[in-house]
Chain A
Amino acid sequence: MIHSLFIINPSGDVFMEKHWKSVISRSVCDYFFDHQRKASSPEDIPPVIATPHHYLISVYRSSMFFVAVCTTEVAPLFVVEFLHRVVDTFEDYFSECTESIIKEHYVVVYELLDEMLDNGFPLATESNILKELIKPPNILRTIANTVTGKSNVSSTLPSGQLSNIPWRRTGVKYTNNEAYFDMIEEVDAIIDKSGSTVCAEIQGYIDCCIKLSGMPDLSLSFVNPRLFDDVSFHPCVRFKRWESERVLSFIPPDGNFRLMSYHIGSQSIVAIPVYVRHSLCLRESGSGGRLDITLGPKQTLGRTIENVVLEIPMPKSVLNCGLVTNQGKYTFDPVSKLLVWEVGRIDVTKLPNIRGTISLQSGSPPVEANPSINVS
């Protein structure tokens, strides 16, 4: 099980460590640093590293490494999922998760970690329960606590901890009862040079913000549930009911949570909202290259497309870009070689376009870049 946790910042300092069993020297992180040096970017560090005595399982979130140390055979996914949960909890508590935030709230962080894991076994990871045990910090409460002498730590057992619905606490009361559902769909498509779709799939999520009193029992039905190729639910969803009737029936947790995520695979036809007309030519004459990209809407069902961002990872030999856009701004990071063009809204009458020259390192072999777009 999880033995220890080290949180490491991008410059390679271990600024937080927590041990759930005996203390493991932070020198174990040296193995991690070895791999870090070898990797070309922080994302490329392998998530599972074997060392002579320990196994380091890490995730990279918010430009920090969360490195868990294990000594026995464990399920790596269990550790990875748990680490992500830790970061999610921090984000939930402090609204963002950065090095400075963690340092600022180190006591809460320490208490949280202690509450989430006992001897390497997860104890309480539901944010509802944690929030009952340890109140999230906010200015109002800090002032109130100083005045009244109360603390952030609750002295009673959270009500939801042992019930059959551990995700919801009892006695929730709202004056305004409201429930919001956010549908998020990500289209992942690979389109070849000629513009035809190689493969396209949809990864969708339903995120909820539910503020209802008491113990509400909700049902959500879909017009065409057959579309879903695969679904995974929050534990609150009654699976039996879904299997038999294709209806989501659940008692929701209080507050924000992800109700469901689904996947629509490559077999179904996926409508792609934009098209890209591109011409990219590296090494035209001497050490230069040309780039010309136009975006246009496609199958939008009458809606306008907003917040379009285009990202192109350039080959290593690209030194700089001199581009002109007719809309939005572009940036080029010479370190990560990433060209980002924030287009904004697509206006059908005047299609957004970016064009210009690219300067290349001389003498490097010609390579092609694979432009890819990210629409949000």
Chain B
Amino acid sequence: MTDSKYFTTTKKGEIFELKSELNNDKKEKKKEAVKKVIASMTVGKDVSALFPDVVNCMQTDNLELKKLVYLYLMNYAKSQPDMAIMAVNTFVKDCEDPNPLIRALAVRTMGCIRVDKITEYLCEPLRKCLKDEDPYVRKTAAVCVAKLYDINSSMVEDQGFLDQLKDLLSDSNPMVVANAVAALSEINESSSSGSPLVEMTPQTVNKLLTALNECTEWGQVFILDSLANYSPRDEREAQSTCERITPRLAHANAAVVLSAVKVLMKFMEMLPSDSEFVTSLTKKLAPPLVTLLSSEPEVQYVALRNINLIVQKRPDILKHEMKVFFVKYNDPIYVKLEKLDIMIRLASQANVAQVLSELKEYATEVDVDFVRKAVRAIGRCAIKVEQSAERCVSTLLDLIQTKVNYVVQEAIVVIKDIFRKYPNKYESIISTLCENLDTLDEPEARASMIWIIGEYAERIDNADELLESFLEGFADENSQVQLQLLTAIVKLFLKRPSDTQELVQQVLSLATQDSDNPDLRDRGFIYWRLLSTDPAAAKEVVLAEKPLISEETDLLEPTLLDELICHISSLASVYHKPPSAFVEGRAGIRKSLPASARAGSEGVESTESQAAPAVIPAQDSLIGDLLSMDIGGPTVAPVAAAPAAPFGSAAMDLLGGGLDTLLGETSSSPAPPSALAASSAALLGDIFGAPAASATYVAPKTTWLPAEKGKGLDISGSFVRRNGQLFMDLTFSNKAMQPMLGFAIQFNKNSFGITPASPLQVQSPLPPGVAADASLPLATTGPVQKMEPLTTLQVAVKNNVDVMYFACQIPMHALFVEDGQMDKRVFLATWKEIPAQNEVQYTITNVMHSADTVVSRMQQNNVFTIAKRNVEGQDMLYQSLKLTNGIWVLNELKIQPGNPNITLSLKSRTPNVAEGVFQAYDNILHG
């Protein structure tokens, strides 16, 4: 007497037979027939033809039969909308049934029938059920609102169901509250506006917290998830909420635990990190996370992906729990790989010995993927914990000795990184590596090996032979290997030019003539030209010192991490991508961690500024000012024409940028070397014979915002005056791992009222590893505030990652205006008028100009010579200039022929500009 008998009917005319059975008078027969119909349905047979007959069975007081018919209806109503109307009456009647079970069942089933005509009839019963006296019916009705919203959202809004649903949040029964929360969050999720339907107030939060203790485990998940969207008003509220949530960490249901962890991690941001409460909370978080790792593998996997985030955000929580992440032999592979990742994140000086011996064991495992990752992990260990590098290298050497092909290849790839991190330390092992040259067949391993040979060509006696052997099959190599081989041979040539000329010519011709790969050809040409024009420059470029590789290249970017912390326990935390990146049609409300209650005053900025005074000084008021500025919206009207880039410098910069990225590749580093940017631009200038010295003096670009302070964005720039307009020339280099977009710029109030004249135009999105130039026209009409020193300009640059602040100095000469020529008499009168104590004297040393060239040079920079006298063999020059803010400066220069020192006397009504003007003179005359 089991149900399997329903599957066994295979006779012909099955449908017909069922039909007659369904119309049988006997209840028992009917029920059997419906069961058979359902059985066929579950296995995917089409029994929709029986629709009218099945619906006829609906009018019954037998609950099981009713349920079965409902199951059938849910499946087939969509395909037979007209027939489904027949069922409406019964539904409406059932909604009035004295039995709450039947009322609830009816409203539940009606919601599942996705037919527009039926939903019209659903409204009235649903309204009644939402106010039903029985909580079971109310909680079922709450879910039904979400179903209805899915089918017809405008109807739900028009009929006021949302308000009724919100009222249920204050229901006396916790189960009803939980379901209302769940329904609301689902509606939120699918609503097109994306804005939250319910404003979370402290009152609602309080109600939710009360319901949290009494509702079912699933309800707890819903409530915790919606609590995570709430931002407490102050520290005290955050702390008390945390206290009430903490008991959830001991729940048996892993979903509840992880949701609780999410809320705690988020609210902890608001609390001062040194408080006792945070310390005790940190202690409480560890054990439940560890316990998650002893449940089913699927739970472990999700937990590990989340722990990966938690460890990056708050390494303290699990720093003593390294051992629980040791791999068990019977873990599924996906769990093993995740554990390995976390082991590396937790590795520190204290536990590195243990980690290494574990990793070494893993490297002898069976699973190839796992072994590879383990070998890679050893390399990462070496890079992360300097003290362990020695042991890691010897471990890797041991592994190479095993001669297992993929282990050797993987080891060579990581040894390359270790060489990068610790140059000139472990080169003694190169000979061992060379022994394995022939076994390498994977491109990455080959490229790494070639890099090592090229880099240490001077220490490997037979480097030329080794590289030559690779060159034989050049055409068949992967492009990665080809590029590397080209660079390595050029390196070799530069180091040992005497006997490798033939080799380098061979590789250059292979690269430039026989290859279809544009990257390879371009790189070949660049090398060729460099070598043929200026080998010294080539040496400087190719053998330039490489920037050290960062130990944490695999970390998530901080902003992404913060966003993901808000999504702990969700799919986003498993993918490590924000939901907007993978959930379809999701309106992009991005969650962010609440700022600490004491933002600014103890933020990151202040600590950074102590380290480098170039980055904004730690003044509360100042940061306040910057923060209050409207960074997002362009405050100035966009200029129709793009800023013209007239000559020289811009064109050169363009090339400089291009070469920069190219060099980035050639040195096979993950991030392009920043140190090269300036020198390479100058070099190219030489190579292409561009006029290096342009008429107007332009200060070389200086780095204003180094990448490590700019969350991966490196900004360098200078100020230029072109055609009577002040420009800020900027180079943005993206050294992060993600493309950057949405650039905007704002200045703080400054001494000269400088403000952007048009929005920032910069290539967007800016791909990783690429540098882009931008020229920002400036106006001097902005608000004025005196800065110290006078020429300081505080800048805020915003992109999709963060808002970055830095300060730079405006060279005074960029502020000299074109109409700075004073009438002779006025000059004389003014000179006399200005009191003597306003006169400042400087000596400009080491000037290689005669009086005439000084005049012409200064003229090009808007400093005008009013008169010239010769007194006692000395040339006296009287010059005037005007600043953008209308301040006149009068100068007297004493030039003695043969003496490289010039005396400069300055007079101005505002003597504090004198220092800047002197600097300008100094720069122009030496430029």
27 contacts between A and B (CB under 8 A): A26-B44, A40-B333, A47-B298, A48-B301, A48-B574, A50-B582, A60-B298, A73-B572, A73-B586, A77-B569, A78-B255, A80-B255, A106-B6, A110-B38, A123-B140, A125-B216, A149-B28, A151-B62, A155-B99, A157-B99, A157-B100, A157-B136, A232-B251, A233-B251, A239-B247, A265-B324, A316-B366
**B182 CB to nearest A CB, Å:** 5
**How far, in whole Å, are A261 and B291 apart by their CA atoms in the complex?**
9
The complex places the Cα of A263 from the Cα of B252 at a distance, in Å, of 12
Tell me, yes or no, whether B688 is within 8 Å of chain A by CB: no
Residues of A near B63 (CB, < 8 A) are 151, 153-155
Q: Within 8 Å CB of B3, what residues of A?
A: 103-108
In Å, the complex CA distance between A72 and B62 comes to 37
Query: Contacts A110-B42, A119-B112, A233-B250: A81 and B64 contacting too (C-beta < 8 A)?
Result: no
CA–CA, A110 to B75, complex, Å? 13
Minimum CB distance partner of B297 in chain A: A43
Tell me the smallest distance from the CB of A315 to a CB of chain B, in Å.
Answer: 5
Q: For A240, give the chain B residue with the smallest CB separation.
A: B247
A199 and chain B: residue at smallest CB distance: B323
Instruction: Give which listed residue, B217, B221, B361, B572, contacts A235 with CB less than 8 A.
Output: B217
Please count how many residues in chain B sit with their CB below 8 Å of the partner chain's CB atoms: 110
Q: What separation, in Å, do the CA atoms of A367 and B362 have in the docked complex? A: 11
Binary per-residue interface labels of chain A (37-81) against chain B in the complex, 1 for a CB within 8 Å, 0 otherwise? 001100110111010010101111000000000101111111011
In Å, the complex CA distance between A162 and B323 comes to: 43
Can you name 5 extra interface pairs (CB under 8 A) apart from A76-B571, A78-B221?
A44-B334, A70-B571, A108-B3, A233-B252, A235-B216
Of A70, A146, A365, which is within 8 A of B1 by CB? A146
- Is there contact, CB below 8 Å, between B333 and A44? yes
Interface-forming stretch among B143-151, B592-600, B861-869, B901-909? B143-151
Known: A73-B579, A239-B250. A370 touches B216 (CB 8 A): no
User: Closest approach, in angstroms, between the C-beta of A220 and any C-beta of chain B?
Assistant: 16
Which residues on the A side are within 8 Å of B366 (C-beta)? 313, 315-316, 367, 369
C-alpha spacing A142/B140, complex, angstroms: 31
CB nearest neighbor in A for B247: A239
Which residues of A are found within 8 Å of B329, using beta-carbon distances?
Answer: 313, 370, 372
A107 touching B258 by the CB < 8 A rule? no
Q: How far, in Å, is B130 (CB) from chain A's closest CB?
A: 15
Among residues 75 to 108 in chain A, which have CB atoms less than 8 Å away from a CB atom of chain B? 75-78, 80-82, 84, 100, 103-108
A59 contacts B296, C-beta separation under 8 Å: yes
State whether the Cβ of A223 lies closer than 8 Å to any Cβ in chain B. no
State whether the Cβ of A111 lies closer than 8 Å to any Cβ in chain B.
yes
Q: Is B27 an interface residue (CB 8 A)?
A: yes
Minimal beta-carbon separation of A250 from chain B (angstroms): 13
A365–B408 Cα distance when bound, in Å, is 13
Q: Are B2 and A105 in contact (CB under 8 A)?
A: yes
Residue B179 at the A interface, CB < 8 A? yes
CB-CB contacts below 8 Å: A189-210 with B: 190, 192, 198-199, 201, 203
Residue-by-residue, is B45-68 near A (CB-CB < 8 Å gives 1, otherwise 0)?
A: 000000000000000001111011
Contact A121 B182 (CB under 8 A): yes
Q: Is B143's CB under 8 angstroms from A119's CB?
A: yes
Residues B42 and A16 in contact, CB atoms below 8 Å apart: yes
Bound state CA distance, A125 and B214, in angstroms?
Answer: 16
Q: Does B189 contact A (CB under 8 A)?
A: yes
Residues of A near B7 (CB, < 8 A) are 103, 106
Contacts A59-B296, A72-B189 given: A162-B175 contact, CB under 8 Å? yes
Residues of B within 8 A of A100 (CB): 4
- B108 interfacial by beta-carbon distance below 8 Å: yes
A265 touches B287 (CB 8 A): yes
Closest to A39 in B: B333
Q: Does B332 sit within 8 A of A, measured CB to CB?
A: yes
A1–B365 Cα distance when bound, in Å, is 39
A301 at the interface (CB under 8 A from B): no
A179 at the interface (CB under 8 A from B): no
Query: For B475, what are the chain A residues with a Cβ–Cβ distance below 8 Å?
Result: none
- Contact residues of B: prevailing secondary structure: helix
Specify which chain A residues have a CB less than 8 angstroms from the CB of B324 in the assembled complex.
Answer: 199, 201, 265-266
- A118 in contact with B584 given A77-B255, A266-B324 (CB within 8 Å): no
| Cβ contact within 8 Å between A72 and B190 | yes
Contact status of A142 and B39, CB under 8 A, knowing A75-B221, A122-B218, A370-B361: no
Q: Which residue of A lies closest to B583 (CB)?
A: A73
Within 8 A of A (CB), among B308-365: 321, 323-324, 326, 328-330, 332-334, 354, 357-358, 361, 364-365
Which single member of B31, B75, B254, B301 contacts A46 (CB below 8 Å)?
B301
**Chain A residues closer than 8 Å to B186, beta-carbon distance:** 1, 72, 120
* B791 contact set on A, CB distance < 8 A: none
CB pair A152 B140 closer than 8 Å: no
Please encode chain A, from 109 to 132, with 1 for each CB lying within 8 Å of some chain B CB and 0 for all others.
Answer: 011001000111111011000000
Q: Is B114 an interface residue (CB 8 A)?
A: yes
> How far, in Å, is B53 (CB) from chain A's closest CB?
18
A176 at interface (Cβ–Cβ under 8 A)?
A: no
Q: Complex formed: what's the CA distance from A123 to B334 in Å?
A: 32
Instruction: State whether A48 touches B217 (Cβ < 8 A).
Output: no
B2 touches A104 (CB 8 A): yes
Judge if A335 is at the interface, Cβ distance under 8 Å.
Answer: no
Please judge, given known A-B contacts A22-B114, A76-B574, A114-B71, whether A121 and B179 are in contact too, CB under 8 Å: yes
Residues of A within 8 A of B (CB): 1, 15-23, 26, 39-40, 43-44, 46-48, 50, 53, 55, 57-60, 70, 72-78, 80-82, 84, 100, 103-108, 110-111, 114, 118-123, 125-126, 137, 139, 142-143, 146, 149, 151-157, 161-162, 164, 166, 188, 190, 192, 198-199, 201, 203, 229-235, 239-240, 242-243, 258, 261, 263, 265-266, 313, 315-316, 365, 367-370, 372
The distance from the CB of B286 to the nearest CB of chain A, in whole angstroms, is 8
Q: Is the CB of A81 within 8 A of B253?
A: yes
Give A237's nearest chain B residue, CB to CB. B250
Please, which residues of chain B bring their CB within 8 A of the CB of A365?
404-405
A313 touches B247 (CB 8 A): no
Q: Which of B146, B189, B328 contacts A73 (CB 8 A)?
A: B189
Bound state CA distance, A77 and B251, in angstroms? 13
Judge whether A75 and B297 touch: CB under 8 Å.
no
From A44, A72, A164, A263, B287 is in contact (CB under 8 Å) with: A263
Query: Within the complex, what minimum Cβ distance (angstroms) separates B79 from chain A?
Result: 10
A48 near B571: Cβ-Cβ < 8 Å: yes
B252 touches A104 (CB 8 A): no
A372 CA / B331 CA spacing, docked (Å): 12
Contacts of B570 in A (CB 8 A): 73-76
Chain A residue at minimal CB-CB distance from B183:
A121
Contacts of A105 in B (CB 8 A): 2-3
Q: Are A81 and B299 in contact (CB under 8 A)?
A: yes
The answer to the question of B733 belonging to the interface, with a C-beta cut-off of 8 Å to chain A, is no
Verify A55–B27 contact, CB threshold 8 A. Answer: no
Closest chain B residue to A161, Cβ basis:
B136
B675 contacts chain A at the CB level, 8 A cutoff: no
Q: How far is the CA of A369 from the CA of B366 in the complex (A)?
A: 8
Q: Complex: how many Å from CA A108 to CA B3? A: 9
Q: A84-B296, A118-B108, A370-B365 are in contact. Are A111 and B1 (CB under 8 A)?
A: no
A155 to B39, CA, bound (A): 23
Closest B residue, CB atoms, query A20: B112
Asked whether A368 and B294 contact (CB < 8 A) given A73-B571, A146-B1, the answer is no
Known A55-B571, A263-B287: A103·B4 in contact at CB below 8 Å: yes
Instruction: List residues of chain A with CB within 8 A of the CB of B569.
Output: 75-78
A43-B297, A47-B302, A153-B67 given as contacts; is B216 within 8 A of A118 (CB)? no
Interface centre among A46, A59, A107, A316 (most CB of B within 10 A): A107
Q: Are A106 and B257 in contact (CB under 8 A)?
A: no
Min CB distance A94 to B, Å, is 10
> A123 contacts which chain B residues (CB < 8 A)?
140
B1-30 residues at the A interface, CB under 8 angstroms: 1-4, 6-7, 27-28
B residues 735-784 touching A (CB-CB < 8 Å): none
The answer to whether B39 touches A372 (Cβ under 8 A) is no
